[in-house]
Copies of this chain bind each other. A is one copy, B any other.
Amino acid sequence: MSLKFEVLKTHGKSRRGKLYTKHGIINTPAFMPVGTCATVKAMMPESVASTGAEILLGNTYHLMLRPGADLVAKMGGLHKFMNWDKPILTDSGGFQVMSLSGLRKIKEEGVSFSSHVDGKKFFLSPEESIKIQHKLDSNITMCMDECVKLPAPYNKVKQSVEMSMRWAKRSRDAFVDRDGYGIFGIQQGGDYEDLRAYSAQKLVDIGFDGYAIGGLAVGEGQETMFKVLDYAPSQLPENKPRYLMGVGRPDDIVGAVLRGVDMFDCVMPTRSGRTSQAFTARGTINIRNARHREDPRPLEEGCDCPLCKNYTRAYIHHLQKCNEVLAVMLLTWHNIRYYQRLMQGLRDAIENETLKEFVENFYTNQALGDIEEI
């Protein structure tokens, strides 16, 4: 195995760990901001690092289309290309081929599709995906899998899991072992416990540096997701990181950490920054709302991001009304910092065995809602 993972502490089902890569250490539970096109939208990479983020996610689908993996490789890899010297995880591209591309056709061999940018034809197989992720110089390569939208009938999910497990084997075989680089398998199986167990066992038989829980956050709702997370993490090896893909909202993450998940990624903090939404301990705030027009208070008392330290709600509201880029820059920064502070809080609470109080406080504060209007 090429990535070292240490579980420093367990507390209930929750784990406090460290994942070692060639580009640095990731403290878990960890949240990975998403840098789709070799940039976390509207952020300088040094600003992303200053929020406490220790790893980014890059999207293989987008990068293979633009600028292309060969170009990134020629420029010295994704870290150098985008000026981010910390770890990078890349997805396989499979999920976004299904959701974004046109004219796709899935076969055992792989997927043919047309680019959503210019219609150009591409073919993505497990082998091709691993090769692209290698060219990108990704620290954590993800297996290519198929992801079924829930709810779905048992037999459909079963067939899909079986193909995904064959693809997992092909992905692992195509991966070139290197120190400080690793590959994660992806558990599928929808909300069927036996299929999840089957998938986990197949992946463990192949052997990976970490295990992702895939096929959630695809519209099934938090209740179903938590039901799956009540058993799925414990089906995976204890001594390897567990990564819940594409999750999620702050309360999703809290619930998943309680159930033994170590890693997360989601576009939520960055995308919300582009739609006037800010995450705070007291729930989400839409800064475009007229109530903020003359409000001289910071967005969130106690937050140390530039938005909260240096500006009033009135100012951010004004920027939004004028469609100023700075609003997006500052809100994105705040949201990523909010997520990183949440993860720090969770890590501290596991270390100090105060997770119960932390989680109670979290829900109490979220339920309060925004501070009183002035």
Interface residues, chain A, CB within 8 Å of chain B? Answer: 37-39, 41-44, 62, 66-67, 71, 74-75, 81-83, 293-294, 296, 306, 310-312, 314-315, 317-319, 321-322, 324-326, 328-329
Give the complex CA separation of A324 and B43 in angstroms.
Answer: 10
Chain B neighbourhood of A314, CB < 8 A: 67, 71, 75, 81
Task: State whether A71 and B324 are in contact (beta carbons under 8 Å apart), knowing that A38-B318, A39-B319 are contacts in the complex.
Answer: no
Distance of A293 from chain B, by nearest CB (Å): 7
Task: State whether A67 and B329 are in contact (beta carbons under 8 Å apart), knowing that A44-B306, A83-B311, A294-B74 are contacts in the complex.
Answer: no
Smallest Cβ-Cβ distance to A327: which chain B residue: B39
Mind listing 26 A-B residue pairs with CB under 8 Å? A37-B319, A37-B324, A38-B318, A39-B319, A39-B326, A41-B324, A42-B325, A42-B329, A44-B306, A44-B326, A62-B322, A66-B318, A66-B321, A67-B318, A71-B294, A71-B314, A74-B294, A74-B296, A75-B314, A75-B315, A81-B314, A81-B315, A82-B315, A83-B310, A325-B325, A325-B329
Smallest Cβ-Cβ distance to A74: which chain B residue: B294
Chain B neighbourhood of A41, CB < 8 A: 324-326
Chain B neighbourhood of A326, CB < 8 A: 39, 41-44
Chain B neighbourhood of A62, CB < 8 A: 322
Chain B neighbourhood of A310, CB < 8 A: 83
Partner of A324, one of B39, B75, B81: B39
Chain B neighbourhood of A315, CB < 8 A: 38, 75, 81-83
Distance of A71 from chain B, by nearest CB (Å): 6
Of listed A62, A71, A317, residue having the most chain B CB within 10 A:
A71
* B296 with A75: CB separation less than 8 A: yes
Smallest Cβ-Cβ distance to A328: which chain B residue: B325
Smallest Cβ-Cβ distance to A41: which chain B residue: B325
Distance of A250 from chain B, by nearest CB (Å): 24
Chain B neighbourhood of A71, CB < 8 A: 293-294, 314, 318
Distance of A213 from chain B, by nearest CB (Å): 30
Give the complex CA separation of A322 and B118 in angstroms.
Answer: 12
Give the complex CA separation of A69 and B275 in angstroms.
Answer: 27
Chain B neighbourhood of A74, CB < 8 A: 294, 296
Q: Which 4 A-B pairs have the closest CB atoms?
A: A42-B325, A67-B318, A83-B310, A37-B322
